[in-house]
Amino acid sequence: MLEKYLQVHPEVKKAIEAGEPVVALESTIISHGMPYPKNVEMAKNVSKIIRENGAIPATIAIIDGVLKVGLTEEEIEFLGTSKDVVKASRRDLPFIISKKLNGATTVATTMILADLAGVKVFATGGIGGVHRGAQETFDISADLQELANTDVAVICAGAKSILDIGLTLEYLETNGVPVIGFGTDEFPAFYTRKSGFGVDYRVDSPMEVATALKAKWDLNLKGGMVIGNPIPNEFEMDYDTITNAIETALKEAEENNIAGKKVTPFLLDKVKTITAGKSLESNIELVYNNAKIAAQIAKDLADINK
As annotated, the binding site for Mn(2+) includes 139
CB of 31 or CB of 296, closer to ligand PSU:
31
Q: Which of 227, 218, 240 is nearest to 289 (CA)?
A: 227
Write out the catalytic residue numbers: 26, 160
CB of 46 or CB of 268, closer to ligand PSU:
268
* DSSP per position, 257-285: T--GGGHHHHHHHHHHHHTTTHHHHHHHH
Binding interface with ligand PSU (CB under 6 A): 26, 28-29, 32-33, 106-107, 125-126, 128, 141-143, 261, 264, 268
Tell me the H-state helices in 99-233.
107-117, 134-137, 142-149, 165-174, 206-218
Confirm if 50 and 123 have CB atoms less than 8 A apart.
yes
Spatial distance between the Cα atoms of 120 and 47, rounded to a whole number of angstroms: 16
Shortest reach from residue 272's CB to ligand PSU, in Å: 10
Q: Which of ligand PSU, Mn ion, none is residue 282 near (CB under 5 to 8 Å by kind)?
A: none
CB of 139 or CB of 164, closer to Mn ion:
139
The DSSP 8-state label assigned to residue 72 in this structure reads -
The SS3 call for residue 207 is helix
Q: Which residues are annotated as a binding site for substrate?
A: 87, 107, 141-143
Shortest reach from residue 108's CB to Mn ion, in Å: 11
* Residues 137 to 166 in contact with Mn ion, rule: CB under 5 A: 139
Shortest reach from residue 215's CB to ligand PSU, in Å: 26
Q: Which of 234, 233, 216 is nearest to 225 (CA)?
A: 216
Question: Between the CA of residue 144 and those of 47, 89, 103, 219, 226, what are the distances in Å?
Answer: 25, 12, 20, 21, 10
CB of 77 or CB of 139, closer to Mn ion:
139
Q: Which residues are annotated as a binding site?
A: 87, 107, 139, 141-143
Spatial distance between the Cα atoms of 292 and 287, rounded to a whole number of angstroms: 9
Shortest reach from residue 173's CB to Mn ion, in Å: 20
Verify binding: residue 115, Mn ion, rule CB under 5 A. no
Q: Which of Mn ion, ligand PSU, none is residue 236 near (CB under 5 to 8 Å by kind)?
A: none
Shortest reach from residue 225's CB to ligand PSU, in Å: 16
CB of 194 or CB of 262, closer to Mn ion:
262
Q: Which of ligand PSU, Mn ion, none is residue 289 near (CB under 5 to 8 Å by kind)?
A: none
Q: Which of 64, 74, 168, 156 is nearest to 110 (CA)?
A: 156
Residues at the contact surface with Mn ion, assessed by CB under 5 A: 139
